[in-house]
Structure 1
Amino acid sequence: MADEADLEDKTEDPSQKRLDDAFEKGNVVKSQEVNTWFIIAGATLVLMTFSGNMVQGLTTMMRGLIANAAIISMDGPALPRLFGKIGGELLAVLAIPFLVLMLAALAGNIVQHRFVWSTESLTPKFSKISPLAGMKRLFSKQSLANFLKGLIKIVILGAVMVALLWPDRDRMEGLVTMDPAALLPFTSAISLKIMGAVVALLAVVAAADYLFQYRSWYGKLKMSLQELKDEYKQTQGDPFIKGKLKQIRQMRSKQRMSTAVPKASVIITNPTHYAVALQYERGMEAPLCVAKGVDAMALQIRKIATEHNVPIVENVPLARALHATVEVDQAIPPEHYKAVAEVIGYVMKLRRAIRS
């Protein structure tokens, strides 16, 4: 009951961090029905493509063994050599079919999730050996779904096989008396017919089971509002502390600006949204940005500049360009030398005119 209550509280979609953590632990969507479908489909492909070669190769090997049974030596080291030869011939005949089946089994996992390597599932857990936990798993929704799924598969596949084999029931009764040369094509045709029907039906079962497994997996990863808040605090920091740090940074920025702007040679504005304070003295290679800001910060820069009689020059494109390209305590870029030199030259002329 407590677990169900917890699940009811988990109403929010899982965050990307929760999904990533689950993947790193090996907790991914996996439907065994999808793996089964790929293996059976691979077996059907092998039967359709390689059955003739496999039968021919195995027949040739067995004929050779039977025909030469009287002269085959099995004494001493001859027996291991015989087994080695038979194993080599079997490997040559069955290597490609086995490779196809291995690739099919691998593809059954790849199509469900990307490659994951985790030892989390190997870690010993008490819940795996706990009788109480075992009883809960035995009577869980997942177990009920697996039971119903298996029962439905048995019924449907049994009905389909009966429907496919029923028209040939008379011929099947005579298989024991059928000539071996005619037996193989008949059994091969019947097998392919059955395998094709099984592959088609299991495709529907696999798709439905994957959707069920995905919904179940996604539901278990859902989060409560409190879990979302806790995760946000862990990844982004406590909002209260972040707010305090922001206030401290703004206060320090204002204190620094109040001491840097009075030393500026000129304030370039646009005129209301941007303000860039530049300082230039003889011997400097280029003017230095001592303060900059937008909106409220720009208004504060202009206010301090007015209080300390720092010239304010309106130049919309230059103010925007400097604000975008230069940082505080950095020299202006070379592409703005000419424009800034004209502004500073204009300010110096004004100062000389006032003094004279």
Structure 2
Amino acid sequence: MAEKPAAEKTEQPTSRKLGKAREKGQVPQSQDMGAAVTLLALFLSLALLAPGLFQWFKGQVETSASGQIGPLANPQIFAAYMNANIIDALLVMLPVLAVISVAGIATSIVIGGLTFSPQAIQLKWDAINPATAIQRAANPRTLVRLLAEIAKLLIVGVIVWFYLRDKLEAMAALRWAWSSQLIGSIASMTFGLGIRVGIAVIILGLADTLYQKWQYIHELKMTRQEVKQERKDSDGSPEVKSRIRRIQIEMSMKRLIQEVPKASVILVNPTHVAVALRYEAATMDAPVLLAKGADHMAQKIIKIARSHGVPIVRRPEVARAIYAAVKPGQRIPESLYVAVAEVLAMVYRLRQGKKAAR
């Protein structure tokens, strides 16, 4: 199989690139899904609040048709009357507006996630540049979007036609209905039509959401070279990493030179692992690990210990257990007290024997 060129964007965007895109406010969004959820929320909220809204509208119509001239007595009374009615209307419509707002915000968060990006609200002159607008209009993507919108209108139109075609006889009979029956029948038909159109738009919105997410990832795809460069920027250049590693080794060596001579005993494995332990019965409750190392560092510990006369004891299992479970400066666990105590007792006897021999 032929290898794809490095300049071709075939790699999935990294988490770092996705994070930068979110910082700029670039997240997948679907206007169709937002409009569909908002439409359904509108119809459902109107259906639930219909009795109260009907009574309010009925009261307003009756008041307006009563012929009262009190509100028209003078401009001040009329202004107060209008302000009261406007505030009343806002309070009546507030639940519907709140449901629509919550539905729109929730849909946006579900699709694109919760994101706050100050960069997204900055003024962009390209957005209001006529030349840029003409280029966007001539873009093939714009044409595809236009055709998709036309297709959606056709689908919605077909749904509306089939629904109203079945209601023609009922609509013709409404001319004999009372006003309350007329309003109820129209509201019922409108609600039924809204639900059907809403479900259709939801399905179209789901398809558009999947497409928008695919397009979002597709546009953020990276070349292999970009992925390598980003990994290099994140991890640091090999030169910097090598220098950091060298500094860490130097610091470890200084710590070994300082701590190993203070040790009471060195436990080895015998060459792959070395741990330096210190124990003073008068001042310590338990032995403390001063230093540890593996392979090359283990050999350094053994070399320093020999040069300072620190006893070196071969205890592979104990050395491995301490190396894996204890950090420098920590006490050894209680499960190893007996094994370490045996070693320390042996070292103590050897030292006492040497002193007696002298």
| Identity between Structure 1 and Structure 2 (%) | 30
2:119 partner amino acid: E
TM-score, L = length of structure 1: 0.83
168-177 or 81-90, larger mean C-alpha shift: 168-177
Check the 8 A contact 1:61/1:89 in 2, yes or no. no
Distance of aligned partners of 1:64 and 1:266 in 2 relative to their CA distance in 1, 3 Å threshold = same
Counterpart of 2:165? 166
In structure 2, the CA distance between the partners of 1:265 and 1:312, relative to structure 1 (3 Å rule), is same
Alignment of 1:212-227 (within 5 A): 212-227=211-226
User: What one-letter code is carried by the residue in structure 1 that aligns with 2:50?
Assistant: S
Aligned to 1:3: none
- Structure 1 residues 108 and 248 mapped into 2: Cα distance closer, same or farther (>3 Å)? closer
Gap change, CA 1:134 and 1:9, over 3 Å in 2: farther
Task: Spell out structure 1 runs of 4+ moving beyond 6 A.
Answer: 280-284
The verdict on how the C-alpha distance between 1:68 and 1:85 changes in structure 2, with shifts beyond 3 A counting, is farther
SS in 1 for 2:167: helix
Structure 1 residues 94 and 293: CA distance shift in structure 2, 3 A: same
Aligned residues: 350
Assess if the C-alpha contact under 8 Å between 2:37 and 2:202 holds in 1: no
Residue 306 of structure 1: CA displacement? Answer: 5.6
Match of 2:249 in 1: 250
> C-alpha deviations, 1:237-260, integer Å up to 9, x for none?
112320243244335645764786
SS in 1 for 2:276: strand
Q: Where do residues 1-356 of structure 1 align in structure 2 (5 Å cutoff)?
A: 9-173=8-172, 179-250=178-249, 253-254=252-253, 257=256, 261=260, 264-278=263-277, 285=284, 289-302=289-302, 305=305, 310-324=310-324, 326-328=326-328, 330=329, 332=331, 335=334, 340=340, 342-354=342-354, 356=357
Contact kept in structure 2, 1:35 and 1:108, CA below 8 Å: yes
- Conserved? CA contact 1:58–1:93, under 8 Å: no
Cα distance in 2 for residues equivalent to 1:349 and 1:311: 12
Asked if the contact 2:277–2:288 (Cα under 8 Å) also holds between the matched residues in 1, the reply is yes
CA contact (8 A) 2:11 2:224 kept: yes
CA distance in 2 between partners of 1:81 and 1:145 (Å): 53
Instruction: Give the letter aligned to residue 164 of structure 1.
Output: Y
CA distance in 2, matches of 1:332, 1:170: 91
Relative to structure 1, the CA distance from residue 194 to residue 316 in structure 2 (aligned partners, 3 Å threshold; closer, same or farther) is same
TM-score (norm 2): 0.83
- In 2, the alpha carbon distance for the partners of 1:314 and 1:325 equals 18
Q: Distance in 2 between matches of 1:126 and 1:188?
A: 46
The structure whose RCO (Cα within 8 Å, separation 6+) is larger is 2
Deviation at 1:345, TM superposition (A): 3.5
Provide the C-alpha distance between the structure 1 equivalents of 2:164 and 2:120, rounded to a whole number of angstroms.
44
Q: After superposition, give the CA deviation of every residue in 1:30-80 in whole Å (9 maximum; x if it has no partner).
A: 110111011110121023222232122111222123225245443142112
Q: 8 Å contact 2:6–2:225 — kept in the other structure?
A: no
1:132 to partner: Cα distance: 4.3
Task: Provide the aligned C-alpha RMSD in A.
Answer: 3.3
Structure 1 gap ranges (5+):
1-5
SS in structure 2 opposite 1:100?
A: helix
Is the contact between residue 7 and residue 225 of structure 2 (CA under 8 Å) also seen in structure 1?
no
Specify whether residues 265 and 50 from structure 1 end up closer, same or farther in structure 2 by C-alpha distance, changes over 3 A only: closer
Partner SS, residue 112 of structure 2: coil
CA 217–321 in structure 1, closer or farther in 2 if over 3 Å, else same = same
